[in-house]
Amino acid sequence: MTLDGRLVVVTGAGRGLGLAIAHDLAEAGAHLVIAERNPQFAASAVEELAAHGVPVHRVDTDVSDPGSVQQLADRVAELGGAYGVVNNAALADGVGGKYFYDIEPDEFDRIMSVNLRGTWLVSKALYPQLRARGDGRILNIASDVAFYGPPRLMHYVASKGAIVAMTRARARDAGPDGITVNAIAPGITECEATQTVPAERHELYRINRALERPQQPEDLVGAVRFLLSDAAAYITGQTLLVDGGFVCR
């Protein structure tokens, strides 16, 4: 499952799961574009990833802003065009705690603008480059919350459920161009973004996983590499649950 010389864009790769994905793709030989909104996270990530000896480029990007996303696409085109994109950027820090009837419209819109709209905008902007290759890959990061619906998290759950639905629809649109569109759905993963998740939700996962140990970012990277590789060339429109068996279906 090598990706030698193929250019992959990873959004939200400045820390946590996105950074772990970028490290694994670099080990697989991919050339990388780190699309990250936080300049400090981006600079640190590029410094880390340079140790793999593959080209790593940084484009400071706000995925919810069409102009910023177009600048990303223009820069990627200058680098030779994308083979794949991992839509990882999302708002997850401290987004829970309210019942659906207490969420304000601006809170709902803020989550949707990044998690859902941002995923669509990045894929849309890079699509001409993927189409030009004829074998491109789009991989979306959903969440297992879309499959069990935890309370006091409705806007986030809705955004990730929409990612699953959008993955299926995009796969139909992209199939004639030879492009696959898939998603992975992690469980609670121990990283910066989940430090504010209530303790009871961590405990819920602990007692209900088939695999009892906590989930780490490294538990996701193999699935990402597989779905970006030639080994998954005939898989599209699918969402792969990677949560230690918390959701079994």
Catalytic residues: 156
Q: Which two tokens stand for residue 238?
A: 């699918």
CB 42 within 8 A of CB 57: no
- Tell me the CA end-to-end span of the chain in Å, nearest whole number: 27
Determine the Cα–Cα distance for residues 114 and 91; give it in Å rounded to an integer: 7
Given a contact cutoff of 8 angstroms between Cβ atoms, the answer to whether 73 and 46 are in contact is no
d(CA 58, CA 43): 8
d(CA 184, CA 191): 17
What are the distances in angstroms from CA 239 to CA 7, 105, 168, 175, 235?
Answer: 23, 29, 9, 16, 10
Q: Which is it for strands 180-186 and 137-141: parallel, antiparallel or unpaired?
A: parallel
Q: Is the C-alpha dihedral spanning 119, 180, 215, 18 positive or negative?
A: negative
Classified as helix, coil or strand, 81 is coil
